[in-house]
Amino acid sequence: MTKTFYITTPIYYVNGAPHLGHAYTSVAADVLARWHRLEGHDVFFLTGTDEHGQKVEAAAKLAGIPPQEFTDRVSDDFKDMARVMNISNDDFIRTTEPRHKAAAADIWLKLQENGFIYLGAYEGWYAVRDEAFYDEDETEKKPDGTRIATSSGATVEWVVEPSYFFKLSAFQDKLLELYEANPGFIGPQAKRNEITSFVKSGLRDLSISRTSFSWGIPVPGDEKHVMYVWLDALVNYLSACGYPDLSGPRGKYWPANVHLVGKEIIRFHAVIWPAILMAANLPLPARVFSHGWWTVEGEKMSKSVGNVTDVRELVAEFGLDQVRYFLLREVPFGNDGDFSRRALIGRINSDLANGLGNLAQRTLSFINKNAGAVVPPKGRLQEADLVLLEQCSQLPEKVRGAIGRLAFHEALDEIWRLIRAADGYIDREAPWSLRKTDTARMNSVLYVLCATLRSIGVVLQPFMPEQVGRLLDYLGVGDDRSLTILDSALAEGILLPAPAGLFPRIVEEQKNADR
């Protein structure tokens, strides 16, 4: 049976427009999904929008339209971002869809039946902006008398209301056992330690309903309450699998292989979510992995600073694959990073234009002009050829290892190591000189270069699907572009189309003048 692979992004809040941060989570998840498809796995890749809660209700009011109309609009904008970023999601879930509401209501009933929900009253510091409650010591008083959450800066207010509670406290030991038994459950390692000590310090029951607003999924049997937005939201990962009926076509994907999330929401995914699943007697995801945050030109993205970056504008200016490459190459996955035009242009010029693009262009246009526009005959290979081909044959395993650890930057580093080796090889072997002295040797060198470019192209597809797709076209690779094609030697004599440049150099002076 084909191995299934289920990967998710968080579902994005619709109270703001999509930006670079959202695109980052989606692009990383997309690379994983595409990689597993290359491996021949049966992939289910889910993204979507989180549409309930007080913030959304308030944003709709501000826009002067009903909440459903508001969320339809913003959700479409997130779909558009996914399209522009060439995100290959298999489904897009919205929490306002009937399939999701039914799943959330069913989970509620399961938790209730199993004795993990009780009615109480909630009192505490609540931040509407974060949809979160804070302990007193997580807040601070400002000089004007208002109180804010220290971590996010959002204003908090004292809230007292009847509320249903989930017995999260009952899961402390089980969660610690889970982390202990599955060291890979939370990544990266630093987050695992942080979450473990958070759980060790004691878990309190979680308020899971609200009566102070109505834009949410009604609590079954007590419709004055709507479900707490995080309980509602987390269930999306199950709704898309057809829950409560997991015997349908999508049921085979549960449990998820990876939930990819930003660092600020790892707690919800690594503590609350597994506890809910345990309480409902459902299997747990294999892994929850968190990435860092991007600042823009050294500053936190914020509406007031006016630096909220719409990634679609960057794509229009610099090209899609260029932006995708930058996001995954610039920063080790899991760390914070800074986005700047200078760094982006630097990467495009050095790694893409001068690196991969130049290697491909030098090889392919030379073949087009001087070697009959076909994959040249291999002939008798020499030591230098075998060394490079050996590096090619090791590449998929190296990239597989790095991607398995979600170390995207390391995967790219491995690929660029081979690009540099091929650059050195072409300079040393100098096919342009061999053209006059030894065409058999020239052909061998060009053959080895084509084989190298094919290896590089195949493993790079998940990162840069468009331009690398063109590279594989120029190399005459057929419809099957999965990893298995690298198990056979490149066939000689395949006709090659005329190549065009893949990654134009960005001229900075020009760019500055245009701004």
On whether the CB atoms of residues 330 and 347 are closer than 8 A, the answer is yes
Structure-block tokens of residue 243: 């829950």
Q: Which is nearer to ligand MSP, 10 or 319 (CB)?
A: 10
Contact flag: residue 47 with ligand MSP (CB under 6 A)? no
CB of 371 to ligand MSP, least distance (A): 46
Q: Which is nearer to ligand MSP, 13 or 126 (CB)?
A: 13
Contact flag: residue 22 with ligand MSP (CB under 6 A)? yes
> With CB under 6 A as the contact rule, which of the stretches 16-24, 106-114, 167-175, 419-427 interacts with ligand MSP?
16-24
Contact flag: residue 12 with ligand MSP (CB under 6 A)? yes
| Residue 504: cis peptide before it, omega within 30 degrees of 0 | no
Q: Which of 293, 354, 361, 362 binds ligand MSP (CB under 6 A)?
A: 293
> 3-state class of 366 per DSSP?
helix
Which secondary-structure segment (H or E) carries 161?
strand 155-166
Range 295-314, binding ligand MSP (CB under 6 A): 301
Strand 155-166 and strand 206-207: pairing?
A: antiparallel
Q: Which is nearer to ligand MSP, 17 or 489 (CB)?
A: 17
CB of 354 to ligand MSP, least distance (A): 28
CB of 49 to ligand MSP, least distance (A): 8
Which position's Cβ is nearest ligand MSP?
A: 262
Q: Which of 5, 6, 24, 318 binds ligand MSP (CB under 6 A)?
A: 24
Contact flag: residue 165 with ligand MSP (CB under 6 A)? no
CA angle 195, 197, 198 (to 5 degrees): 60
Residue showing tokens 């000089």: 143
Q: Which of 7, 21, 209, 402 binds ligand MSP (CB under 6 A)?
A: 21
Chain centre to alpha carbon of residue 476: 30
Q: Which is nearer to ligand MSP, 23 or 219 (CB)?
A: 23
Contact flag: residue 75 with ligand MSP (CB under 6 A)? no
Contact flag: residue 106 with ligand MSP (CB under 6 A)? no
Contact flag: residue 13 with ligand MSP (CB under 6 A)? yes
Contact flag: residue 92 with ligand MSP (CB under 6 A)? no
What DSSP assignment string belongs to 380-396? Answer: S--HHHHHHHHHHHHHH
Contact flag: residue 475 with ligand MSP (CB under 6 A)? no
What DSSP assignment string belongs to 191-219? Answer: HHHHHHHHHHT----EE-EESS--SSPEE
Q: Which of 5, 6, 7, 25 binds ligand MSP (CB under 6 A)?
A: 25
Q: How far apart are CA 86 and CA 101, in angstroms?
A: 28
CB of 47 to ligand MSP, least distance (A): 10
Q: How far apart are CA 169 and CA 149, in angstroms?
A: 23
Q: How far apart are CA 366 and CA 202, in angstroms?
A: 67
Q: How far apart are CA 402 and CA 456, in angstroms?
A: 15
Q: How far apart are CA 1 and CA 224, in angstroms?
A: 47
On whether the CB atoms of residues 419 and 392 are closer than 8 A, the answer is no
CA angle 449, 452, 456 (to 5 degrees): 135
CB of 222 to ligand MSP, least distance (A): 23
Contact flag: residue 363 with ligand MSP (CB under 6 A)? no
Q: Which is nearer to ligand MSP, 21 or 357 (CB)?
A: 21
| Residue 98: cis peptide before it, omega within 30 degrees of 0 | no
Query: How many residues interact with ligand MSP (rule CB under 6 A)?
Result: 19
Q: Which of 5, 10, 29, 324 binds ligand MSP (CB under 6 A)?
A: 10
On whether the CB atoms of residues 385 and 166 are closer than 8 A, the answer is no
> 3-state class of 291 per DSSP?
strand
User: What is residue 203's DSSP assignment?
Assistant: -
CB contact set of 93 (below 8 Å; sequence gap of 6+): 11, 46, 47, 48, 49, 99, 100, 236, 239, 240
> 3-state class of 433 per DSSP?
helix
Strand 91-94 and strand 42-50: pairing?
A: parallel
CB of 302 to ligand MSP, least distance (A): 9
CB of 285 to ligand MSP, least distance (A): 12
> With CB under 6 A as the contact rule, which of the stretches 67-75, 100-108, 260-268, 411-419 interacts with ligand MSP?
260-268
Structure-block tokens of residue 394: 């090791």
Going residue by residue from 185 to 224, which x/- string records binding to ligand MSP, judged by CB under 6 A? ----------------------------------------
Structure-block tokens of residue 277: 């699943």
CB of 432 to ligand MSP, least distance (A): 46
Q: Which of 226, 261, 288, 344 binds ligand MSP (CB under 6 A)?
A: 261
CB of 9 to ligand MSP, least distance (A): 7
Q: Which is nearer to ligand MSP, 285 or 499 (CB)?
A: 285
The dihedral of CA 97, 102, 104, 105: what is its sign?
A: positive
Range 226-245, binding ligand MSP (CB under 6 A): 233-234, 236
CB of 34 to ligand MSP, least distance (A): 19
Site for ligand MSP, rule CB under 6 A: 10-13, 21-22, 24-25, 50, 233-234, 236, 261-262, 264-265, 293-294, 301
